[in-house]
Amino acid sequence: MSKKRKVNLPLIEVIAISLIVHLVAIIGLGGYTIYTALVPEDPDMEAPPPPERIEPNKLQQQVRIQQQQKRSSRPVQKISVTNASSVNLPDLSVDMPTVNTTVAVGGNYGAGRLDDDFGGGGIDFSKSAVDFFGIKSTGERVTFIVDASKYMLEDKKGGLPAYNIIKEEISNMVDKLSSGTLFNVMFYDGGKLQAYSTKLLPATRQNKELFKEWIKPINKDIGSVGKLSTNLSIENKDIQPMTDKASNWVKALQVAMEQGSDTINIIVAAWQFHGRGLQGEELERWYRSVDWGEEQQKAWDDSVKKAEAWLKAENEKRRKASKPERVVTWIGSIVAELFPKVRRKPAPSFDVDEVDKFISNVQRQLYRGRDERPPPINVVLFLGSDENESKNSSVKAFEDLAKSNRGKFSILKGMQALKNVTGRSS
C-alpha cells in the first residue's frame, strides 16, 4: 500500500501569484502595443511663416502720391495701364530729347481737356519754356501782359503792321505751351483791362484755338484802337500807396499776381501815366501848387484844337494814298511838334518810387504772406526806331523793375528790331 505524497501549498500559492502577475503584464503590454498601432500619433505643430512685409519705401511712395493728388488744384484723372504682354512695341530710338521733369496729372479743367493733346489722358509735363520776344523763361502758371494803348501803334514803331506781328507772336507763344501749363493773356489801355479769361486756364488744344479767335479783334484797325471791353478788376483795393487807383500795366500786373501767376511777361511802350484820381477842390489845389492857371489853360486849349485839325487833315491824305493812318498816343505829342513853346498841361500822378513800393506791397500780401516766392517779372520795352534810349526815362524805370523782381529786361526799337527777334524776313 503506497504512501500518499504531501502537497506543498505555499509553493503552489507562489507559482499561482507569479502566473497571474505575468499574465496581467502580458495582457497590459499587448494592449498597449495594439493601441499604439491603431491610434496615430499627434502631428507636430509648426508656426505659420510670417506675412510678407511691405517695404517702407513702397508704402511711403503710395502715400505721397495720394497726398500730392489731394493738394493739387488740378482735377485728377485715373491712369489706365495696359498689360505689357498684349502690346506690340515698335523699335525705339535711344536718342531721347532732354525734357523738363516737372510732372502733373492730367484731367479736366476750364474750357478744354488736358488730355486733348495726348489722345486719352495721362501724365503731362506742366512747365513750359517761353521765348518772349528774346527773353527766355520757364513757368507753370504763365501770364502775358500786352500794352494796347496808342503808344504801341505810333509811326516810329511800325504802326498797325508792327502791332499785328506782336499779336501773332503772342498767339505763337500760347500755341507752344504744354497742355499742363496754366496761362492767361491780358491787354490794357489806361484803366481798361481785357483778359482772355477771368482765371488761369490750361493750355489745351481747345483753349489755344479759342484764344486765337479771341485776340483777332484787338486793335485790328484804327477804328478799334482803345476799344477794350473790361472784364477784370483788382480784388485787393487797400494796398498802399495806390490802393484802388492802379491803372495800365500796374493794374494788369496786380491782377496777374492775384491769379497766382509764377511767371509774368510784359511788353509795353512806356512807363505811362498813373493818375492819383484827384477831383474837385483837391485837383484845383494841386494845379495851383504847380503854377497852372487860366492863362496856361487857354493857351493849351487853343493849341489842342489846332493840333486836332492838323491830325485830321494828315490822316485824310494818308487814306487817299492808301497808307496807314497816323496813330497818336496823346494829342499833346502833336502840340509839342507844332507848338514847342506851349507848356504841356501837367497831371497829378504816382512817381516811379511809389509804383515800385506798391508792387512790392502787392507781392508781400499775395505771396510772402503765404510763404510763396513772388513771380519773376520780364519786361520788353517797345520804342520807336529813332528814339534815344539813353534819354528815355522809361528805360531805367523798367530795367530796375525787372532786376528787383528776378526778371529780365530788353528793348526793341521799331519794326525791324521786332522782325529780327521774331525771325521774320526783313
Q: Is 14's pLDDT higher than 80?
A: no
Mean local confidence (pLDDT), 241-251: 95
For residues 245 and 377, membership in a common domain is answered with yes
Q: Is 139 in the same domain as 173?
A: yes
Domain final residue, candidates 313, 338, 363? 338
| Domain at 418, CATH number | 3.40.50.410
The verdict on 176 and 315 lying in the same domain is no
Q: Is the pLDDT confidence value at 117 over 70?
A: no
Answer yes or no: is pLDDT of 56 > 80. no
CA distances from 279 to 237, 284, 290, 347 (A): 19, 8, 16, 11
How far is C-alpha 196 from the chain's CA centre? Answer: 14
In this prediction, residue 19 has a pLDDT band, given cuts at 50, 70 and 90, of confident
**Residue 68 in this model has a pLDDT that exceeds 50:** no
The pTM score is: 0.66
- Percent of residues, the chain, with pLDDT higher than 70: 73
Please, what is the end-to-end C-alpha distance for the chain in angstroms?
A: 170
Q: 352-366 and 393-404 helices cross at what angle (nearest 10)?
A: 20
Higher-pLDDT residue of 136 and 119 is: 136
Least confident of 40-44, 154-158, 302-306: 40-44
Per-residue confidence (pLDDT) for residue 6, from 0 to 100: 54
Check whether 110 has a pLDDT greater than 60.
no
Task: Provide the residue type at 70 as one letter.
Answer: K
Query: Do both 243 and 326 map to the same domain?
Result: no
Is the pLDDT reported for residue 184 higher than 60? Answer: yes
Residues 271 and 209 in one domain: yes
Is 50 among the domain residues?
Answer: no
Is residue 121 scored above 60 in pLDDT? no
310 & 253 share domain = no
The more confident residue out of 339 and 37 is: 339
- Regarding whether 267 and 156 lie in a shared domain, the answer is yes
Residue 44 resides in a domain: no
Q: Residue 328: inside a domain, yes or no?
A: yes
Residue 397 lies in a domain: yes
Mean pLDDT of 77-103: 42
Share of the chain above pLDDT 90, in %: 58
Strands 377-383 and 263-268, sheet pairing: parallel
Secondary structure letter of residue 40 according to DSSP: P
Determine the Cα–Cα distance for residues 263 and 139; give it in Å rounded to an integer: 6
Collapsed DSSP state (helix, strand, coil) of residue 102: coil
Mean pLDDT of 242-264: 96
Residue 249 shares a structural domain with residue 135: yes
Does 178 map to a domain?
A: yes
Say how far apart CA 205 and CA 16 lie, in whole Å.
Answer: 115
pLDDT digits (tens, 9 = 90+) for 410-421: 999 999 999 999
Of the listed ranges 11-15, 33-37, 67-71, the one predicted with least confidence: 67-71
Which among 4-13, 117-126, 217-226, 259-268 has the top mean pLDDT? 259-268
| Nearest CA-CA partner of 409 in 389, 386, 423 | 389
Domain match, 169 and 257 both: yes
- Mean pLDDT over 270-276 rounds to 91
In a domain, 323, yes or no: yes
Residues whose CB is less than 8 angstroms from the CB of residue 269 and which lie 6 or more positions away in sequence, other chains included: 147, 149, 151, 152, 154, 157, 329, 381, 382, 383
User: Which of 338, 353, 382 delimits the end of a domain?
Assistant: 338
| Residue-level pLDDT at 226 | 82
In angstroms, the Cα distances linking 299 to 54, 330, 331, 339 are: 88, 17, 14, 10
Instruction: Tell me: do 223 and 133 sit in the same domain.
Output: yes
Residue 113 has a pLDDT of 44
Given its phi and psi angles, is residue 120 left (phi above 0), alpha (psi -120 to 50 degrees) or beta? left
Q: C-alpha distances in angstroms, 206 versus 115, 166, 175, 216?
A: 11, 22, 11, 16
**Domain span at residue 177?**
127-275+371-422
Between CA 134 and CA 358 the distance in angstroms is 28
pLDDT band at 230 (very low <50, low <70, confident <90, very high): confident
CA distance to 9, 315, 325, 334, 388, per residue, from 321 (Å): 166, 10, 10, 21, 30
Q: Looking at residue 60, what is its pLDDT?
A: 47
Does the pLDDT at position 231 exceed 90?
no
Asked whether residue 48 is assigned to any structural domain, the reply reads: no
CA angle (233 as vertex; 269, 228 as ends), nearest 5: 50
One domain for residues 326 and 201: no
Mean pLDDT of 46-55: 54
Q: What is the CA radius of gyration of the chain?
A: 44
For residue 15, the model assigns a pLDDT of 74
In what helix (H) or strand (E) does residue 189 lie, and over which residues does it extend? strand 182-189
Total domains, the chain: 2
291 and 269 assigned to the same domain: no
Angle of helix 414-422 relative to helix 159-175, nearest 10 degrees? 20
**295: in domain:** yes
Q: What is the mean pLDDT of residues 377-400?
A: 95
Report helix angle 331-338 to 294-320, nearest 10: 100
CB within 8 Å of 234: residues ≥ 6 apart = 244, 246, 251, 254, 255, 258
